[in-house]
Structure 1
Amino acid sequence: MPSSCWFSNVRSAVAPGDWDRLRKMTYRRPGYRCEACGAPRDPDARRWLEAHERWSYPRETSSGRMIQKLTRLVALCTPCHQATHFGHAQIQGREQSALEHLCHVNGWTRQQAWEHVEAAFAKWQRRSEYVWELDMSMLTSVGVTITPHPRPGSARPTPRPHSTS
């Protein structure tokens, strides 16, 4: 997610009742399993299901605005969600477990996982050069009301890609 959209998400932009309904629908759709690795919720293993937002980043609009559009909510288990937000995992000191999960789920070597992470960081850096506006019309089209979420004055620490040299 580009840095201009940090701290903005569906959960903070909708009423608690709407969020509860959306996330439960998201978990139910794949049969209460992770849509990335297929794992079920397992409280004993501290593996939950979490609703993750998928966004598209269309090119600049004719009006010159950059739009980040919500395209789907997916159910991810805790380890898959952590790996998906790799920069956040780094900040929380969970880089190694996120990397191991990426390797396990994708059948990758550590080198392949790091190459993927570095490519993702490069894409994040390119996207973060712009200020993006959020388009959550996918939700408003089904009657969910969006409340603008104020952004805090300071940003989180910037995660860094792993150096392979």
Structure 2
Amino acid sequence: MLPSDLGDVYVSACGELTRLCPRLVPSPLWGISLANIANMSPYIADAMCSGCGDAVRRVRDWWFSLNRNGPCEVCGAPGAEIDEEWDYVVKGNEGIAVITHLRRLCRNCHLAKHQGYAKVHGLSEAAINHLARVNGVDVSTARRIVREVFGVWHTLNGVNWVVRINNDIGLPSDLRVKVEELMNTMLSMHCSRWDGWFHCLNTGGVCEKALQETLQLLKDVEDYDRLISTVEERLEKAGITVLKDELLFLINQNEVRRLLLMGRLDDDMLYVPVIGGKWMVFIRRRDIYGKVFIEIINELIRRDLHYESKTLFNPRDNEGGIPLIFYVPSFLALNVVINVANVINEVLIRYGIRTKAYFKPELFTNKSIYRGTTGLKPYIYIANVGKGD
């Protein structure tokens, strides 16, 4: 049932901006749209819900058949984008996001509609000016309404959302139901498209667990030499190779040394972007990469080890394999590092895949330490995972 009788949360703003109204997307819904479903890998979709891969293929055919070449339905300029109009209805802490209809917009109207995007990219003035012009209001009025819209948006980010699609959107009934299922499965797993990646966020308490383990390790060792030997001893015992030169280089970075020193005194000083890292494996088969990725995530969630994961949203030609990436909040949370590697290993065994997993610190990424760019390898730990038939 669509809750149109309850009213859209942006009704006040849209009552003043009647031709083009900016409805900001709540952050839990970022990256979830018909446009993104149309560009999604069917192999990821199939891993999320049965039959959803076929639904993605059908949506792709439908989406790219829509006419983008006519006049903008707001201002009459040449059209460029198919825009999804969403209503957001909230009751208590529960919300329903409804795709109500589609319309063709020019680039300027599309920018004016998406004020959040405009703000992030430094285009707010142009977006607000165009919003005022097409709605026939002065710029100060448009600016006031946009401020009010952002105020409403802030209240929506803690809401539990479900997605619905209007019956007359243009999708066959069976396809509409399947797309709703896919979108809501993505929501429940905190997954969405982000800069070309299929990105799934933390749903448990592993961050706190990892930081506490890091703090305890720092309190237990007396100096950095002892720290390195402890890391090597613990991980080698678990079958994980430690690259000592790369680990020493990491620990000697000013950001890490300062953080580790302060972390001994106050665990609030531990900062994930400095001590975090990620396990990476590369899968050559596109037809199974989605299933492997989702199975690893589900197992990490079950063991309260899932922090953040990503893979390509729709890989094309990846001769070196498709990256599956699983983040760990601290390279010194050795139990978490080991246990995440074990989960990756167990799932790859089920698929008969033998490969290596590489642990890359976030600081290496931030400092652009990649293969071949320095004398260092771009990772500090290596694990042999999976096995052949």
Q: Is the 8 A contact 1:26 1:73 kept in 2?
A: no
Per-residue deviation, residues 119-157 of structure 1 (Å, max 9, x unmatched):
211221222231212223644626354244423338xxx
Whether contact under 8 Å (2:37, 2:59) holds in the other structure is no
Distance 1:140 1:118, change over 3 A: farther
Q: Distance in 1 between matches of 2:121 and 2:161?
A: 25
Report the RMSD for the aligned CA atoms in angstroms: 2.7
Q: Which ranges in structure 2 are unaligned for 5 or more consecutive residues?
A: 1-24, 39-55, 193-198, 202-307, 309-389
Q: Distance in 2 between matches of 1:36 and 1:122?
A: 25
**1:132 partnered with 2:170:** no
**Which ranges of structure 1 fall in alignment gaps of 5 or more residues?**
42-48, 155-165
The normalised TM-score by structure 2 is 0.33
- Which of 54, 77, 99 aligns to 1:39? It is 77
Structure having greater relative contact order (Cα 8 Å, sep ≥ 6): 1
Q: Which residue of 1 aligns with 2:88?
A: 57
Give the 5 Å matches for 1:111-150: 111-136=140-165, 138=167, 139=171, 141=173, 143-144=175-176, 145-146=178-179, 147-148=182-183, 149=186, 150=191
Asked whether 1:22 is paired with 2:53, we answer no
- Identity percentage of aligned residues: 27
Q: State the match for 2:27 in structure 1.
A: 3
Q: Which amino acid in structure 2 is aligned with residue 69 of structure 1? A: V
Does the residue aligned with 2:89 lie in a helix, a strand or coil?
A: coil
SS of 1:37's partner is coil
Larger-gyration structure (1/2): 2
**What is the number of residues matched between the two proteins?**
142
Q: Residue 137 and residue 107 in structure 1: after superposition, are their counterparts in 2 closer, same or farther (change >3 A)?
A: closer
Change (3 A) 1:130 1:110: same
C-alpha distance in 2 between matches for 1:116 and 1:142: 39
Amino acid at match of 2:85: R
Matched to 2:72, the amino acid is C
Compare the two structures and name the one with the higher strand fraction: 2
Q: Could you say if the C-alpha distance between residues 104 and 137 of structure 1 is closer, same or farther in structure 2, counting changes exceeding 3 Å?
A: closer
Map of 1:44 onto structure 2: none
| Structure 2 residue aligned with 1:86 | 115
